[in-house]
Structure 1
Amino acid sequence: METSARRRWAGLVFISIAVALIIVDSTIVNVAVPSIVDDLGITSTQVQWVQEAYTLVFASLLLVFGSIADRVGRRRMLLTGVVVFALASVGAVLASTGDLLILARFVQGVGGAMILPTTLSLLNATFRGRERGIAFAVWGSTIGGMAAVGPLLGGWLTTTFSWHWAFGINIPLGILIVVGVLLTVDESRGGATRIDVVGAVLSVIAMGTLVFGLIEGRTYGWWTVDQRPELFGASWPGDLSPVPIAFAVSALAIAAFIAWGLHRRRAGQPTLLAFGLFGIPSFRNGNLAALVVALGEFGIILALPLWLQFALGFEAVQTGLVLLALAAGSFVASGLAGALSGKVAPVWVVRAGLAAEIVGVAGVALVIGPDATWGPLIPALFVYGIGVGLATAQLTGVVLADVPVAEGGQASGTQSTARQLGAALGIAILGTILFSTTSGALATRLDDRGIPPEQRDEVVSAVVESAGGAIAGLEASPQTADIATDARAALSDGTRAASFAAAGFLVLGLAATASLGRGTRREADEADAAEVTPRG
């Protein structure tokens, strides 16, 4: 029996809250890290893993869980993911050491990977026609808005209570989602019943090693060792960095994954990835565009909070309030995208959104400086938020436009994986630009002051390795106050360079949409509906 309209829209609310849960958590940690460092006394390496363990596991498992959900039930997978995520959050709240917190973050990544692709496939199965466009608009705007709300919420919880609450907020939200989804969302699944275990293992190896390399290249070295990794007391041997080895393993795993999948397809066996989907132009080209767009969108979210807090001296809550302009723009775009649904081809909405993102990010870059104020940032971030709200949702709709509902989980997992790969690549590239520019600019300024090379290198290392956190300590001492001024200017230079680079990636993303055509869904909703197996 078809779900009633009121129940469908109520289900959208709880599915959107599920998306908000994982997006907020992925951004909320950034502003809580200083408090975590003070409380648990974790090392700089542990700081990186607290932030990156989630991303690594999350990106590695998206494709696997998206495919499994088609077989075992999408609602069931969503609920399982929420429960896993909430239980991992309990572990994070109770963590008394850095290692326990990192372990909790790994498990959170597993839960998040169950949630994200499943929300997309549920929307694809539940909504039709113009309603689907509105649903995707809400979904996309939730991602854009929550990316900005996360730092605000994290700053308020950390400042008012403690960093534990930054994770504890997930527990009541998890309970609310489970109850709401059980009451408002019907079960759906695809046709295949068997799982491609070998394909799943190869997928995890390929994505895990690739994302590891992208994230850790700046730390360990892109070719030769800059910093030796340590594991269980053992140090990395030789001069070759583990990063190129990780890339080589990833390339071999990707080749093996494709060869294995094509072999199973010829044998008529189910595969983890429906390779036939790449014969659909909107799906193939849309995923390429999504990857490039994510390069610009997610990388800049990394740089701005660091600059606002460490170069301008904003408190965590103040940083969140500034970024709230991005959220406001994204939510405004939600209503605009809904109004345009069915009237304007989705691909043109995507292009308009990307154009707004480019204008917004370039505007932010022009404002950035050591003496900048928050006022000019607000309109630029608002325009950027409108762009994110328009582009993210409608690009998702274009990618999934011609995908049969029975393969919605696989398609959603692929689309989410493309975004996460783009996000990881964006963080790696823009992070490298941010800190390399900061390092070079600060070294030049210190040389101009006649600072001895040894002391110069020590200051540059402290500022860069702390992502700017050491500036406050330099400023507190009269002897190093001038150096702190140089460091703020250098961090501003780095953030400006990263912002312009993000705008450049978004320009490439806009160019990539030229291959998407009209991006409208074929008139086959009735056929799609017949492929869904409702289970109340």
Structure 2
Amino acid sequence: MTTLDQPTRSGATQRPVAGTRRPLAAVLAAVGIPMFMVTLDNLVVTTALPVIREELGASLGHLQWFVNAYTLPFAALLLTAAALGDRMGRRRLFLVGIALFTLASAACALATEPWMLITARALQGVGGAAVMPLSLTLLATAVPDRLRDPAIGIWGGISGLGVAVGPVVGGAVVKGLDWSWIFWLNVPVGLVAIVLARLVLTESRAAATRLDPLGLLLSATGVLALVWGVIRGQEHGWTAGPTLAALIAGGVLLVLFVGWERRTPTPMLPMGLFRSRGFRNVNGVTLAFSVGVFGSVFLLAQFFQVAQGQSPLGAGLRTMPWTMAPMVVAPIAGLIVNRVGARTLIVTGQALLAAALGWIAIVASPDVAYASLVPPFLLAGVGMGLTFAPTSTLALASVSPEAQGVASGTLNTIRELGVAIGVAALASIFVANGGYGSSEAFTDGLVAAVGVGAAVVALGALLALRLPGRGR
């Protein structure tokens, strides 16, 4: 069995050295299981939304907040978690994140009112903010250079697995038990993940530097205000006073954050990272990808139930051609990324996703045959699989080893910001062109929103052409 050297406590890079060894499979499990749990909950909730809406008496606004209450603190705190992990200990904060996510999952399961579920989902987002970026950083620091790309590919496959089984698990649980069990399932998984992480992972830190409390405050509040403004804009109008105030405040705070990071001797996000063409552009591609794809998925996950009357389990099973493909394709992409080049894989992936979403927008109708949706679903799944691992690989390869923690946090912050913007913006287009009133109305809104999503992803494909080529 392939084994990995444990990282030492000394030095900024914390690379593996000869000594106590851990199996590669054990390291992947220790970082992958918590990350799987975090990704699983995104689409588990999406699939269960129609049932939760009925049982809790939730409105359309509540449904969006069941998703956005998670992504809001998630996006706002990813950079903070990465920076704190670099200085306080990545494994320590990783364990805290798993524990908080597990407790918040139990609170979600016990919710009896929409506001209770929204609050618990927000706590899940706080825990997930520590899990997602640190899982990738802990993996990168534990894996020798020769195994890093394949390991990141497998990590991407595990993330794809969470996406894949989410709709099916959610549908199966809702059909056979109660919707609350989609959250109860996280409790034993979280407990196992805590034990495994403690046994397998060794503590690692970046170079010993002082914390940047003002940077932490400006970044977290800036992202929080910006995402909240986007969400509120969809619900109450983009020209409403509170919406504009939040968007302007978020923009000003982030400008102040950039200015402060340029001046402080110990920045949490060194602005020099963005001088790298690869790092700068891969974050732009990730934003376009998240806005177009996850905004579309939010609506497509409900299409089979609302427009075609399928059960939650039936809807989950019908999404599997899309959601299972990344689990297979992402590890392959990780294995071949050095041979083919990250740019080629990302451009191809984004082009396939844009084509798939456009295809769905063309053929969607209340009575569309499922067989007509299978080819674009497969195409979209392959596109996502070609995107997951290469974007992470390129982001880490574009920075120095000691900056990989903040690079991972930045990439995941951009991704979650895109999720929030995508759900809010495409839901706004959906409401403007249709609604939940009938199958026809839902399909009209879906077609308009998914068409916009296809255009956004196509822009991401064009931006991906500016990524550095193989060997650069």
Cα 1:12–1:26 change in 2 (3 A) is same
CA contact (8 A) 1:282 1:516 kept: yes
Please say if 1:189 is aligned against 2:192: no
Please say if 1:493 is aligned against 2:439: no
Structure 2: state its 5+ residue gaps.
Answer: 7-19
Please say if 1:299 is aligned against 2:295: yes
Cα 1:341–1:129 change in 2 (3 A) is farther
CA contact (8 A) 2:160 2:324 kept: no
Identity of aligned residues (%): 34
Equivalent residue letter for 1:502:
G
**Residue in 2 aligned with 1:450?**
none
1-structure distance, mates of 2:250, 2:182: 34
* Cα offsets for 1:330-385 (capped at 9, x unmatched): 12213431441432112211122222222322232232111112222122211211
2-structure distance, mates of 1:44, 1:332: 34
| Within-5 A mapping of 1:80-119 | 80-119=96-135
1-structure distance, mates of 2:46, 2:323: 17
Partner of 2:219, secondary structure, is helix
Q: Given the alignment, which residue of 516, 522, 526 partners 2:467? A: 516
1-structure distance, mates of 2:132, 2:471: 23
| Within-5 A mapping of 1:76-475 | 76-224=92-240, 240=241, 242-264=242-264, 268=265, 270-438=266-434, 464=435, 468=436, 471=437
1-structure distance, mates of 2:278, 2:151: 19
Residue 176 of structure 1, CA deviation:
1.8
Partner of 1:223, secondary structure, is coil
Equivalent residue letter for 2:455:
G
Cα 1:156–1:398 change in 2 (3 A) is same
2-structure distance, mates of 1:307, 1:35: 13
* Cα offsets for 1:269-309 (capped at 9, x unmatched): x1121222112221112111211222222111111022221
2-structure distance, mates of 1:37, 1:380: 29
Cα 1:300–1:5 change in 2 (3 A) is farther
Larger radius of gyration: 1
**Residue in 2 aligned with 1:460?**
none
Partner of 1:2, secondary structure, is strand
Partner of 1:95, secondary structure, is coil
1-structure distance, mates of 2:53, 2:346: 40
* Cα offsets for 1:206-258 (capped at 9, x unmatched): 1011111111212111113xxxxxxxxxxxxxxx3x11010111111112112
Runs of 4+ in 1 over 6 A off after TM superposition: none
Cα 1:221–1:263 change in 2 (3 A) is same
* Cα offsets for 1:97-146 (capped at 9, x unmatched): 33332221111111010111111211221224452222222222333442
CA contact (8 A) 1:18 1:82 kept: yes
1-structure distance, mates of 2:360, 2:130: 34
**Residue in 2 aligned with 1:456?**
none
**Residue in 1 aligned with 2:457?**
506
**Residue in 1 aligned with 2:71?**
55
CA contact (8 A) 2:152 2:334 kept: no
1-structure distance, mates of 2:49, 2:275: 44
CA contact (8 A) 1:196 1:272 kept: yes
Return 137-146 or 322-331, whichever deviates more.
137-146
Partner of 2:469, secondary structure, is coil
Cα 1:216–1:339 change in 2 (3 A) is same
Between the two proteins, the alignment pairs up a number of residues equal to: 456
1-structure distance, mates of 2:22, 2:295: 38
CA contact (8 A) 1:66 1:117 kept: yes
Return 105-114 or 283-292, whichever deviates more.
283-292
Residue 32 of structure 1, CA deviation:
2.7
**Residue in 2 aligned with 1:452?**
none
Cα 1:81–1:519 change in 2 (3 A) is farther
**Residue in 2 aligned with 1:9?**
25
CA contact (8 A) 1:345 1:518 kept: yes
Equivalent residue letter for 1:250:
G
CA contact (8 A) 1:121 1:412 kept: yes
1-structure distance, mates of 2:304, 2:49: 15
Cα 1:507–1:161 change in 2 (3 A) is same
Cα 1:324–1:5 change in 2 (3 A) is farther
Partner of 2:365, secondary structure, is coil
Partner of 2:371, secondary structure, is coil
2-structure distance, mates of 1:398, 1:499: 28
CA contact (8 A) 1:137 1:390 kept: no
Equivalent residue letter for 2:417:
L
* Cα offsets for 1:307-345 (capped at 9, x unmatched): 221111111111110111112211221343144143211
Equivalent residue letter for 2:319:
L
CA contact (8 A) 2:27 2:139 kept: no
Please say if 1:32 is aligned against 2:77: no
Cα 1:132–1:513 change in 2 (3 A) is same
Equivalent residue letter for 1:384:
A
2-structure distance, mates of 1:347, 1:87: 40
**TM-score normalised by the chain length of structure 2:** 0.91
2-structure distance, mates of 1:41, 1:500: 30
Cα 1:392–1:516 change in 2 (3 A) is same
Equivalent residue letter for 1:2:
D
2-structure distance, mates of 1:313, 1:71: 51
Structure 1: state its 5+ residue gaps.
Answer: 225-239, 439-463, 472-486, 522-536
**Residue in 2 aligned with 1:71?**
87
**TM-score normalised by the chain length of structure 1:** 0.81
